[in-house]
């Protein structure tokens, strides 16, 4: 009976949490990024190795924080515990914005792949309507309950992992039969720190989401153990798949094809396995992006709901249905997501995707650094107890976060800081309103 109660209140076990991490990370990035990475050649491979290594350090920090503070809200809960309500709210505010803005990019990627199957979907007006319909469909799935959303996430994750593994097998087969002649030659003269830095920033977008298992912590079974394992295994698994699959597309497909492709992954399979296989991959690309969208939509509501329960956001955002789902937070967040899609409907899908990547990445980079700083602070206060080896990992995570913030460029940095600072006046206004309501 007790186990049934725990399963009902905390429906997310390890596999659901792992699917949330991997399924949310492996989305639009693995299918669209090769077009941007193609001109960088082997620099992109080095960039991937740096990104995955840095992401594993950051994932270790989130894993340790989740053990010490298994609270809903993830990054918000950690920064709040370390620096107080104001800092926690500012991080949550910026991170929440990055979620529904980033979801617009993921939904755009899904529609981009659907347009390869159904050209009418890519026409002006229709693409925006389809994108909006998709985000609301997943919102309704999440409103039905966390358990259903988690089960859907597992199905989506498995559906996209199998073909990715198959493509890795295809690349290995090609190399076995044709040898290294199909691979772009490695020239030391082409390697540069500028190109590596560019590749690192581009590939970072694909790793965003490694922290997602920490957000719905109050719905995860045995969160102290489950979140840590799901975060580390999910980041390592997604990173390994990214390095293998994206490197195969970038290095084994002519740059003239990859750099201008709207679906480089599909083009890769078409060249080596025929047109029908390429069409199938276009469908898998859409499935992959949709699977990522499901997980992010779950968390874009869980975060403001956690703030509302702590009295730092309007109370109506924290109200839950009988199944524990923050319905109001879902409806409000997706309404804002819909506005982002409509405001960017005049852009092409490619330019919209690039702009939303810039904005989302900028905010998340600042959040990663803030969580590393929070970990340092919580170690000093004795809340977070770690080994000397972990302190080295924490330092590397902080350095990596700073380097990627610098590498993102001034425009990204300005967006990240501006949206972070915008949270403070909102926090003060909400506090004033709350104080007036209590006084009244």
Q: Which of 302, 349, 409, 340 is nearest to 71 (CA)?
A: 302
Spatial neighbors of 440 by CB under 8 A, at least 6 apart, are none
Over residues 388-408, the mean pLDDT reads 86
As a whole number, the mean pLDDT across the chain is: 83
On the question of pLDDT at 71 being above 70, the answer is yes
Distance CA 261, CA 32 (A): 9
Helix pair angle (388-407, 410-439), 10° resolution: 110
pLDDT per position as a tens digit, 165-180: 877 888 898 888 888 8
On the question of pLDDT at 262 being above 70, the answer is no
Distance CA 262, CA 347 (A): 15
Supply the pTM of this predicted model: 0.83
Answer with the residue of higher pLDDT: 403 or 300: 300
Spatial neighbors of 134 by CB under 8 A, at least 6 apart, are 107, 110, 111, 290, 293
Give the dihedral sign, CA 251/256/260/261: negative
Q: What is the pLDDT of residue 28?
A: 59
Every domain of the chain and the residues it spans: 2-439
On the question of pLDDT at 347 being above 60, the answer is no
Tokens of 3: 């186990």
Confidence band (pLDDT; 50, 70, 90) for 427? confident
Q: What is the pLDDT of residue 3?
A: 42
Over residues 85-91, the mean pLDDT reads 88
Of 190-204, 244-258, 423-437, minimum mean pLDDT range: 423-437
pLDDT per position as a tens digit, 123-158: 777 888 898 999 999 999 888 877 777 788 888 788
Q: Which CATH architecture has domain 2-439?
A: Up-down Bundle (1.20)
Question: What single DSSP character describes residue 259?
Answer: T
Confidence band (pLDDT; 50, 70, 90) for 1? very low
What are φ and ψ of residue 135, in 5° steps?
-65, -35
Over residues 58-63, the mean pLDDT reads 94
Over residues 185-214, the mean pLDDT reads 84
Over residues 7-16, the mean pLDDT reads 75
On the question of pLDDT at 204 being above 70, the answer is yes
């Amino acid at each position: 009976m007790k186990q049934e109660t725990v399963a009902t209140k905390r429906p997310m076990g390890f596999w659901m949490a792992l699917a949330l991490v991997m399924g949310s990370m492996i989305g639009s990035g693995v299918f669209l990024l090769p077009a941007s990475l193609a001109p960088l050649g082997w620099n992109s491979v080095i960039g991937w190795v740096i990104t995955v290594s840095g992401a594993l350090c950051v994932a270790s920090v989130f894993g340790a924080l989740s053990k010490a503070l298994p609270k809903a809200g993830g990054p918000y809960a950690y920064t709040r515990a370390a620096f107080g309500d104001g800092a926690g709210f500012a991080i949550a505010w910026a991170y929440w914005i990055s979620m529904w803005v980033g979801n617009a990019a993921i939904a755009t990627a899904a529609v981009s792949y659907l347009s390869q199957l159904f050209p009418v979907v890519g026409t002006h007006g229709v693409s925006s309507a389809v994108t909006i319909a998709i985000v609301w469909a997943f919102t309704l799935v999440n409103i039905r309950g966390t358990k259903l959303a988690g089960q859907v996430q597992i199905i989506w994750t498995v559906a996209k992992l199998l073909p990715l593994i198959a493509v890795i097998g295809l690349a290995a087969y090609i190399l076995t039969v044709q040898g290294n002649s199909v691979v772009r030659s490695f020239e030391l003269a082409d390697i540069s720190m500028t190109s590596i830095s560019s590749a690192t920033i581009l590939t970072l977008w694909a790793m965003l989401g490694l922290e997602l298992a920490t957000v719905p912590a109050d719905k995860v079974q045995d969160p102290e153990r489950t979140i840590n394992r799901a975060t580390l295994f999910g980041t390592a698994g997604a990173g390994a798949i990214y390095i293998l699959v994206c490197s195969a597309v970038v290095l084994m497909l002519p740059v003239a094809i990859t750099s201008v492709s709207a679906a480089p992954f599909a083009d890769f399979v078409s060249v080596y396995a025929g047109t029908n296989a390429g069409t199938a991959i276009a469908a898998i690309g859409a499935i992959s992006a949709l699977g990522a969208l499901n997980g992010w939509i779950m968390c874009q509501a869980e975060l403001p709901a956690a703030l509302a329960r702590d009295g730092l956001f309007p109370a109506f955002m924290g109200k839950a249905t009988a199944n524990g789902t923050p319905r109001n937070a879902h409806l409000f967040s997706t309404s804002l997501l819909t506005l982002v899609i409509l405001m960017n409907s005049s852009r092409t899908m490619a330019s919209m995707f690039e702009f939303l990547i810039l904005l989302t990445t900028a905010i998340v980079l600042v959040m990663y650094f803030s969580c590393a700083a929070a970990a340092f602070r919580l170690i000093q206060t004795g809340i977070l107890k770690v080994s000397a080896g972990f302190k080295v990992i924490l330092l590397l995570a902080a350095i990596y976060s700073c380097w990627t913030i610098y590498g993102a460029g001034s425009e990204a940095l300005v967006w990240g800081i501006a949206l972070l600072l915008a949270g403070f006046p909102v926090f003060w206004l909400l506090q004033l309103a709350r104080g007036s309501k209590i006084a009244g």
